[in-house]
Amino acid sequence: MKALDLRFRQQRVRVSENRDRALKVMRGRLVFFQVIACLGFSFMGLRAVDLMVMQAEHTLFPAAESMAESSVRLDAQNDAAAAKTRRANIVDRNGVVLATSLKTDSLYVDPAQIIDKEKTAIELAKIFPEYTADELLDKLNLPRRFVWIKRGVTPKEQEAVLNIGEPALAYTQEDYRFYPQGNLTAHLVGRINREGQGVLGLERGVDDYLNTQSSDKVTDGSVELRTTIDARVQHILRREVGRAMKDFQGKAGAGVVMDADTGEVLAAVSLPDFDPNNPPNPNAPEMFNRFSQGVYELGSSFKVFSTAALLEFKKVGMGYRLDAREPIKYGRYKIHDYHAEKRILTVPEVFMVSSNIGSAKMAEQVGTEKIKTFYRDLGLMDAPNFDLKEVSAPLVPNPWREINTLTTAYGHGIAISPLQLVRAAASIVNGGYLVTPRLVVSSPEDIQKSVRVVSEKTSRDMRALMRLAVTEGTGEYADVPGLVVGGKTGTAEKPSKNGRGYDRNRLISSFLAVFPADAPRYVVFVMVDEPKGQKKTFGYATGGWVGAPAVGRVIEAMAPMVGVKRREEHTPAHDIAAPLKRYVHYKEHER
């Protein structure tokens, strides 16, 4: 019995030990699972806090976050590309910088990080007066992580922004296109947009070349776009066109100076103009290029071409006579002279007194087909090939009737740009070779006199006639002693606003000149749109009163700069117009 009782007690002890062991294991497992559960709930709680508080702006504007990331990637790509290429400088023929790229700081903001948007907008408006506080507040309320405030911020503006004390305002460095000459070459050089693409002038015309140059070569100056522009002559031309506009209360003006042999444009002006560093709306009137894009009926300047056609094709002498006693009647049309001579005129007299009747009869004798072909050969019937894309095709009669042959002889019924007029005139006076207008310096091999439009004799005769028009005719106010100026006035009535006929009170007044007339170097043109007659001009606003004095001032000022010396020993007896005076029998004429 004792043995049995001892065995039972031993078994009970073992059972008790096993139960205690099992309870310990169970308690351990419960603690383990409780710890795991606590950690899990803690993680989920922290994640909820992170999503609801720390990353609230990301969850509210997921598209904006994606946009910001894209912007960062795009900026990185642009920076990499910019490191390899840089937009080339544009300079004038003497190396004066007309356009260059500068490294500048541009201000941007992360709207989500702004603490007080209204206060920030007000403070920024004080620094950047071109924006209102409301406009800036609209920017700060955009659902984006990256918003431009201003590109190309000055150091003074940067200091003022720093004083605001808003950490969400930051800077990034980028190229800023700067135009040191401002308005001076606005229509020639043009400008680029915010994306760095040329949108006007040479910046647009040769955009591919300017935008693909090695950054190192642009920086060290070994690559640049050298133009035919002379900033000194450009300044003179702009000053005198502006003065003529002011003196005669004109609404607009234009001018061109061209090398008669090469077609290189030394200066070209369109007024009103603009500052490319702070351009106006693209549709603003000052953005319009009047010297190559605007087309006008330029009046009697066209007589240079109708007279040259008569001399070239009919081989007449200077004593050839044309009857200008009566107006020409053609159907319902009537052609008359501004100040009628009412007599038979020689060729020099027709040109000198600017007879519409005589010029119309010249074209009539040449014939419609020949005159049209001649105008086309001179580039007067098609849009010119030019380094600017702001060019327009002329307005040509279609269909071309016999009456158009008569009216275009004195510059009515056909509208061309000042650039076309100057190019055609240069081709007449330079010995008779067609020139191509140029704004970018070319190699001598690219400038060849190969296409003849008139003979050397016709060219020489036209220079003499243009000189006569200055010494004895309507262009006397363009004369500059010692510089042998030749030229032709142009006065044209503008078409009526109602589309019926012409308005005698709205004129295009201009003057076309060549100097020196006996050895042509340059062709100069000045035009004023809708000038008003003044007391000092006895109420006249014609080309002889408006354009001729302006051209004379341009020539006098630019001659020493381009190396044309005055001929102090030059006398009327040695003048190329002297032999023509024997064909002139009447000297009372309109200026």
Which structural domain range is residue 477 located in?
233-583
Same domain, 256 and 198: no
Contact yes or no for 232/559 (Cβ under 8 A): no
Name, of 24-33, 41-50, 507-516, the range with top average pLDDT: 507-516
Same domain, 193 and 281: no
For residue 428, the model assigns a pLDDT of 98
With respect to residue 280, please indicate whether it lies within any of the assigned structural domains: yes
Q: Which residues of 381-418 are buried (b: 16+ CB within 10 A; e: fewer)?
A: beebebbbbbbbebebeeebeebbbbbbbbbbbbbbbb
Active site residues: 300
For residue 218, the model assigns a pLDDT of 59
Least confident stretch, 215-229, 340-354, 392-406? 215-229
304: nearest Cα among 432, 436, 457, 463: 463
CATH number of the domain where residue 435 is located: 3.40.710.10
For residue 76, the model assigns a pLDDT of 43
For residue 82, the model assigns a pLDDT of 47
Same domain, 274 and 336: yes
Give the C-alpha separation, 119 to 112, whole Å. Answer: 15
Same domain, 276 and 199: no
The yes-or-no verdict on residue 418 having pLDDT over 70 is yes
Q: For residue range 519-577, list pLDDT tens digits in order.
A: 999 999 999 999 999 999 999 999 999 999 999 999 999 999 999 999 876 667 678 99
Q: If pLDDT is split at 50, 70 and 90, which confidence band does 1 have?
A: low
- DSSP letters spanning 255-296: EEEEETTT-BEEEEEEES---TTS---TTSGGGS-TTTT--B
Same domain, 200 and 284: no
For residue 91, the model assigns a pLDDT of 96
With respect to residue 168, please indicate whether it lies within any of the assigned structural domains: no
Give the C-alpha separation, 521 to 558, whole Å. Answer: 12
Same domain, 367 and 319: yes
Averaged pLDDT for residues 479-492: 95
With respect to residue 117, please indicate whether it lies within any of the assigned structural domains: no
Instruction: Give the percent of the chain with pLDDT over 90.
Output: 69
Same domain, 265 and 325: yes
The number of domains in the chain is 2
With respect to residue 495, please indicate whether it lies within any of the assigned structural domains: yes
For residue 67, the model assigns a pLDDT of 43
Q: For residue range 34-85, list pLDDT tens digits in order.
A: 767 677 667 666 665 555 544 444 433 343 344 444 444 444 445 444 456 7
Please identify, among 227, 257, 291, the residue that sits at the C-terminal boundary of a domain.
227
Same domain, 386 and 478: yes
Q: Which residues of 66-87 are buried (b: 16+ CB within 10 A; e: fewer)?
A: eebeeeeeeeeeeeeebeeebb
The yes-or-no verdict on residue 358 having pLDDT over 80 is yes
CATH number of the domain where residue 212 is located: 3.90.1310.10
Same domain, 473 and 488: yes
Same domain, 214 and 330: no
Averaged pLDDT for residues 266-289: 94
The yes-or-no verdict on residue 9 having pLDDT over 90 is no
Same domain, 194 and 342: no
For residue 195, the model assigns a pLDDT of 84
Q: For residue range 431-458, list pLDDT tens digits in order.
A: 999 999 999 998 776 777 779 999 999 9
Q: For residue range 81-132, list pLDDT tens digits in order.
A: 445 678 999 999 999 999 999 888 899 999 999 989 999 999 999 999 999 9
As a whole number, the mean pLDDT across the chain is 87
